[in-house]
Amino acid sequence: MSRPAAVVLDLGGVVLDSPLDVIAAYEAETGLPAGIVNRTVAASGPGGSWARHERGELDRRTFLEAFAAELRAAGAEVDTAELMRRVDGWIRVRPRMLEAIRRLRAAGFAVAAVTNNWEPFAGGPLPSEFDV
């Protein structure tokens, strides 16, 4: 078996921490039932606003309105703009993954990032850690 030339890593939940903690904190702070946001995302499935937004089928404004309606139907009144502002602002690089990326590159592997994040991640030094 030949050695692969590259390693492809997902950003969200792999290189970057998951936003689940931020969502849970928002729920607790605003008095929402614990887990309501994630349950609503899961229940809405691939046709739901979250999944459609991840695929680029909904712009941000349309997503926020549709997501608020889905949450309302689930019994939760959510300021989706504020929730997503917090999610967008909470980007934490996992130090062990950063070290792994650097080791892979030092060993001669090309390292690529893939993501379905809504906005291009341009903050900090992370983009320079990847070849693609």
User: Over the stretch 64-116, which tens digit does the pLDDT of each residue have?
Assistant: 999 999 999 999 999 999 999 998 887 788 999 999 999 999 999 999 998 87
* pLDDT over threshold 70, residue 119: no
CATH architecture of 20-89: Orthogonal Bundle (1.10)
Query: For position 122, what pLDDT does the model report?
Result: 54
> How far separated are the first and last CA of the chain, in Å rounded?
24
Average pLDDT over residues 30-48: 97
Helix 36-44 and helix 60-73, axial crossing angle in degrees, nearest 10: 100
Q: What pLDDT sits at residue 118?
A: 56
Domain boundaries of the chain, sorted by first residue: 6-15+92-129, 20-89
d(CA 25, CA 8): 31
What does pLDDT average to over the chain? Answer: 90
